[in-house]
Each structure stands twice: as structure tokens, then as C-alpha cells.
Copies of this chain bind each other. A is one copy, B any other.
């Protein structure tokens, strides 16, 4: 991963969105504010604004994710962009063309934006470095590294329900080790001035140096949730569940699944978040997922607005 931040112009404007790491508080706040009007676009009769009319947006999904691709496709279409979905894995690479040649070709087709999902950490950075001036790159999830639009929609959701970050306690629960959602979320929370970020999970799923990111570590979930305002559950990926890192889905639920009993340790008005897709009965109990404190579906709604705001920002619309 590069240490410089190629997502900003020389005068500090956002030209790509590659990671939350490297964005200032002002950058994040501007993006959240920019999302506000797009939330109301989703409620209109005609859910469309002409900000990206005549722009060509390419969804470059090297890793399959129908859900994330759909959110970006909807966001781009509501901005009136032309959207081209490319399943890159299945195409040019089969003909032996390099990734960079494929990209150079798409740029030559006068692309305006690449939305990139890749299983390798750093791939969107590489793409941004090689995309010529005027082409914006949005990271839609790269390996274990970052998922900045997820972090932004999480922040939007928290801000919506809690108004301010300066006195919040936020707990992030589950597989911190493999989660780009957790990494990006921690960066966003600390940048926005959240004073108390806690990560909760088994030792095997928490990076040993995570405290350097300014968070406290808990292995006992009930204690970790004590008095918190926000509970961010992470998805436990299926491939972990059968692996050596965990005893079983059932055991995981007992220790780190969010139940009414454990949630009772948080503040009474604490909100419950999950990036989806949920494993009900593994990381979250169904009554909680569907309960009064759950804001999991509003996260999805805000996610469209936040992605519209990011897309509009990086093309300067």
C-alpha cells in the first residue's frame, strides 16, 4: 500500500476515493453533507438528477459482488450516467491481456469513472496511478484493505441517529482481522473525533497491533458493549466458519453473536448496524436484526445517497 495519498489533487480536492486513511475530517464531513440532498432524491417520484448525464461509469468487478455492484449501478443511474458493467475476470485476462492494458483501453474509450472491486489489497491504488487525468477511481472494496464507501455510509448512519461523534462510544464486533469494513470504519470514526472506539472479538480474529489505530480491545463481548451508543456487527465470512480460526458457528454465536441479553449492556437507545449480508444466528440474533434498535436497512438506503455523493464529488459535479 502506498504511503502517499493519490486520491487528492495538489490543492487537496478529492479526485479518487481509495481509502478513508488519508482523508481529513473536513473531507469526510463534506462528503456526508453532500449526501444529504441525495437521500431525498430516493424518495421522489422521479429518482433522477442530471449531474452525471453523458458520463461513462465502468463497474470493474474483479471479484463478484452483486449487492455492492447493484448499489453503485443504481447510484450512477440516478445521477443519469451511462453505466457499463464489466466482469473483468472473465474477459480480457482470458485473452492474456494485462490489467493495465485493459484499463488503458477503457480510458481510451473516454471513461469518466471506474468503480473497482478486487480481491487484492491495493488494486484500486494501482489503477488510480495509471488512469489518466480526468478519470476518477472509486474503491468498492479491495482485499482486506479498505471499503471506504461502506465506512462513509456507516458514518452517515451514525450521524443521522446520533447527530455528533464527539461523545460517542462505538463498538465494532466480530472478525476484525479480515475485515476491510472494520479497518475503514475505525479510520473514519477516529478522524471524525469519536473518543471511544472498541473492537470486540476472539484473539484469533483481532490484529495484534490494532490498538495503534486508537481503539481499545475487548474479548468479552458483554463487557465490551457496556454503555456504548453504537454496535457495529461485522459479517463472519463463511470460509472462516469452517476454518481453524474458529470452533464453530454455534460457538461463535454464543460468544460474539449479538443477542438481546448482550445488547442490554449497551445504552438503551444504542443503534445496531451490520454491513450485510447477515448470517442470522451466527453474528446476530434474528429478533435483534429486525428489532427497534436495528438501523441495518436505513444503512442500505443511506448507502445509495452516499455513493451518489462520492460519485458526484470525484467528477466535480
Contacts and interface: CB of A to CB of B under 8 A. Distances in A.
Interface of A: 42-48, 53-56, 64, 66-67, 70-71, 73-74, 77-78, 82, 84, 86-87, 90-92, 95-98, 101-102, 104-110, 238, 276-280, 297-298, 300-301, 303-304
Nearest to A87: B66
A66 to B, nearest CB: 3
18 contacts: A42-B109, A45-B54, A47-B82, A48-B82, A56-B78, A66-B90, A67-B92, A70-B84, A70-B86, A74-B82, A101-B276, A102-B277, A105-B276, A105-B277, A105-B297, A108-B300, A109-B304, A110-B304
A78 B84 contact: no
A70 B91 CA distance: 11
Given A46-B53, A56-B47, A71 B109 contact: yes
Closest 3 CB pairs between A and B? A46-B54, A66-B91, A97-B277
Given A95-B277, A277-B96, A109 B54 contact: no
A67 B277 contact: no
B46 A96 contact: no
Contact of A66 (B66, B77, B86, B278): B86
A23 B46 CA distance: 29
Given A47-B54, A97-B276, A298 B108 contact: yes
Nearest to A77: B82
B67 A105 contact: yes
B110 A42 contact: yes
Nearest to A73: B84
Contacts of A47: 54-56, 82, 110
Contacts of A91: 64, 66-67
Given A67-B105, A73-B84, A101-B280, 7 more contacts: A46-B54, A66-B86, A70-B109, A96-B238, A101-B277, A108-B297, A108-B300
A181 B55 CA distance: 30
Contacts of A303: 109
Nearest to A52: B46
Nearest to A55: B47
Contacts of A304: 109-110
A152 B298 CA distance: 37
A279 to B, nearest CB: 6
Given A109-B74, A110-B301, A300-B108, A95 B43 contact: no
B109 A300 contact: yes
